[in-house]
Amino acid sequence: MTVIVTTTPTKQRAGFSLLELMLSLAILGGSLAILSRIVDTGVSAAIESRSLAQARMACQAKLSEVLMDTALGIQPQTEINVPMASFDSSSTSPMNYSVEVAPASVDGLLAIRVTVQVQNDAGTAQIANHSLTRWTVDPALGLEEAEAEEQAALAGETAEGEQ
């Protein structure tokens, strides 16, 4: 007995099927959506980081200014939400500072707290906030005059001792 096997030529495909194309487009779209969220998160973090750095520099500068005035004998005053210029000339984010002056828990000292807030470009939402608190001698106590009088008295005693 003879068996005859006939082979039919197989049909070769010329391209991708519609299902394969739709699946690949869905995968591409999903990955682009995820990448756009990652980029958006990175941009938001960069803006927040830059604003926080500006707030820190502005806060330190304002606190130094208040402490210098206090060292000169000027009584620090409480100020609330005063607009201030940014250190970065390319920044358009509005900044406000507040200075809170209160007696410290130790007699004769003042607690000075400076807070700087950076808002978004529209000025509606807060992006960054930084505060610094320092204790300083209350200039209203007159300790500088007492120290000057004490040194003058010591100088007078030294001059009498030399005669």
DSSP string, 9-65: PPPPP-S--HHHHHHHHHHHHHHHHHHHHHHHHHHHHHHHHHHHHHHHHHHHHHHHH
pLDDT at 91: 74
- In the chain, how long is the greatest CA-to-CA distance? 149
End-to-end Cα, the chain, rounded Å:
149
- Nearest to residue 62, comparing CAs of 137, 134, 114? 114
Lowest-confidence region among 4-13, 40-49, 66-75, 109-118: 4-13
- Considering 30-44, 89-103, 118-132, 139-153, the range whose residues carry the highest mean pLDDT is 30-44
- Global pTM exceeds 0.75: no
CA distance to 116, 141, 144, 162, per residue, from 155 (Å): 46, 23, 16, 11
pLDDT at 25: 96
CA distance to 4, 5, 7, 39, 54, per residue, from 1 (Å): 10, 13, 19, 73, 95
Of 74 and 24, the structure prediction assigns the larger pLDDT to: 24
The residue type of 144 is: E
